[in-house]
Amino acid sequence: MGIAPKPARPVEDGAGRECATRTDLRRMAGILTFGLMVLTILACVPYAPQGPFDARTYARLAGIRLEQHSWTALLEPLFAPLKVIAGAPDFWVATDSLLAWTVLVAVVLGLLAARRAGSGRRGAAVVFRALRRALVLIATVALLIMFFAIARVPGWRLVVRNPNRIIADLHSHTVLSHDGLASLRTNVLWHQSSGYNMEAVTEHDHLSDHEITWLSPAALAAMPALMSGVEDHTGRRAVCVGLCPNTAMRIGGAVRHTASFAQAIHAAGGAVFVVTLPNLTPNDITRLADDGVDGFEIANEGHPGLPPRLARRVLAVSRARGLVLLADSDYHGWTGLARTWNVIRAPGAATLSRSQRVRVVLRQLRRHDSAAFTPVVAGYMGAPSMARAIFAPFVEFARYAMELSLARVLSWWVWAWGAFGAYVLLDRRRLRAGSIMLASLVWATGAGLVGAGITVIRQGPGTTNYGFHVGLATTMLGAVACLFATLRGLSLLAEYRRDDRIWRTASEVTPAGAIVAAAPVVEALP
């Protein structure tokens, strides 16, 4: 029985049907190699933008280093969108810039493609189609970012070998705050995995007890020491954190002036510092120092956009008054990425018990022992320059690539060529490879989101239903993504079967007949 010659594949008809020719595949491989080479070269540049830096001067710090959990390298390319955005000086600015660029690039590429194909489509239709593609791309990337944020896949961990240092985060939240997403257990485990050995849990508007009750004494010793505090609005723009050794006092909600807040906290043996600085004016900084605070947060991971002129005023006032400068996470349970640490000089820190560590840090804060505190950041935090804000996707991608280790670069190469190999295999079977791979990615991410959402719900209730609502919304979003991807997969399968039937019938006649027979199907595709 003779084998009919394989008919020529129909070429790109401009309607989204992917039928790669040899030239197409060669071009794709070339682009892939070029991209990976750029990534690799950037990773080899002998400069590490992640620091660790002193948040006051951005001088690189010696004797300490940043590392990542090695297992996360396995997921590196999927993790990349969140890292690119979250590692920017101000992630809000970077997000806006990335969205604008995605739409712009999609429209320009759509117009260019239409022009090259010489299609008779009207300009508006081409732009609409390009925007639709941009929307799919943005939605897929957003799903990936959401998964890595809710699943709290960890990022940097500060490694300090000096036994005379305490690594502290003095500002974080749990579900006992109205907008907290992390249970105490999640909060503590995140701090431990990010390199802290002391932390303050500072709920909004009220002082709560925070005790680890689920661990044996031996396991507890390895956990960060815990201190409780309260974060409160103490003026029109001012927000302060009061750290308290005694949680019996009830302070939150009533004090509306920084001076009286500071007085009450100091009377209880605690310490006070100003947080959320981007909302302040330079004159506020001086007034707050007059009100008797012990320090300022020069870096806050949750509110990173501190304008340079405000940062300069904070530095000047703190230097003149001998106040302490801090770098805190303001962790609410979103993402597992840490960017801020306080390295605190404390002789014999390694031998101190958990409660002793708390006492030492409080004492040094109250004494304004500013020389003992080094606020540490992984990369520049603050309002970005105009150029960095406008070109954020390119600058932040370059920054991200320069932070990559060899293992993470290898992960990129394996994933990229693995994906390309899968594309070629599917394409050879006359399947719409790009669509199938995208649907698979959306399905897997959706399933991950369902799991992550259920984990958030299972943390248990807080003072509000915020965690439950976010968990539920995440689970539903994941389920919708899975459903959408499944429906897309089924429609691709039906289309393939229909297409293949016509194909086989036509192939038995002549190659030319195959094209003639397939043409109406191709034409009818969306």
Binding site for Zn ion (CB under 5 A): 231, 330
Angle between helical axes of 123-150 and 466-507 (0-180°, round to 10): 130
Measured from each CB, the residue nearest to Zn ion is 330
Name the residue nearer to Zn ion (CB basis): 300 or 445: 300
Name the residue nearer to Zn ion (CB basis): 76 or 169: 169
| DSSP per-residue letters across 38-96 | HHHHHHHSS--TT--EETTT-PBPSSEEEEE-GGGGGGHHHHHHHHHHHTSSSHHHHHH
| Phi, psi (rounded to 5 degrees) for 243 | -95, 130
Q: Which residue, 320, 322, 321, 328, is CA-closest to 344?
A: 328
Name the residue nearer to Zn ion (CB basis): 330 or 495: 330
Name the residue nearer to Zn ion (CB basis): 61 or 241: 241
Q: Any bridge partners for residue 327, and if so which?
A: 299
For 63, 332, 405, 433, the CA distances from 66, given in Å and listed in that order, are 11, 22, 12, 39
Name the residue nearer to Zn ion (CB basis): 53 or 331: 331
Provide, rounded to whole angstroms, the least separation between the CB of residue 316 and Zn ion: 25
For 28, 43, 83, 100, 148, the CA distances from 412, given in Å and listed in that order, are 16, 12, 14, 26, 17
Provide, rounded to whole angstroms, the least separation between the CB of residue 179 and Zn ion: 9
> Using CA atoms, how far apart are residues 140 and 134, in angstroms rounded to an integer?
10
Which residue in this structure is represented by tokens 């992550």?
452
Name the residue nearer to Zn ion (CB basis): 301 or 427: 301
Provide, rounded to whole angstroms, the least separation between the CB of residue 208 and Zn ion: 14
Name the residue nearer to Zn ion (CB basis): 329 or 435: 329
For 43, 305, 384, 462, 482, the CA distances from 276, given in Å and listed in that order, are 34, 9, 17, 23, 38
Provide, rounded to whole angstroms, the least separation between the CB of residue 222 and Zn ion: 26
Angle between helical axes of 123-150 and 76-86 (0-180°, round to 10): 100
Angle at 435 between CA 430 and CA 441, to 5 degrees: 125
Omega cis (within 30) before 46:
no
Provide, rounded to whole angstroms, the least separation between the CB of residue 466 and Zn ion: 14
Provide, rounded to whole angstroms, the least separation between the CB of residue 230 and Zn ion: 10
Provide, rounded to whole angstroms, the least separation between the CB of residue 328 and Zn ion: 8
Provide, rounded to whole angstroms, the least separation between the CB of residue 363 and Zn ion: 23
Name the residue nearer to Zn ion (CB basis): 231 or 396: 231
Give the Cβ contact number of residue 95 at 10 Å: 16
Token pair of 424, please? 């070629």
Q: Which residue, 7, 142, 155, is CA-closest to 508?
A: 7
Structure letter (DSSP) for residue 244: E
Name the residue nearer to Zn ion (CB basis): 232 or 499: 232
Provide, rounded to whole angstroms, the least separation between the CB of residue 214 and Zn ion: 24
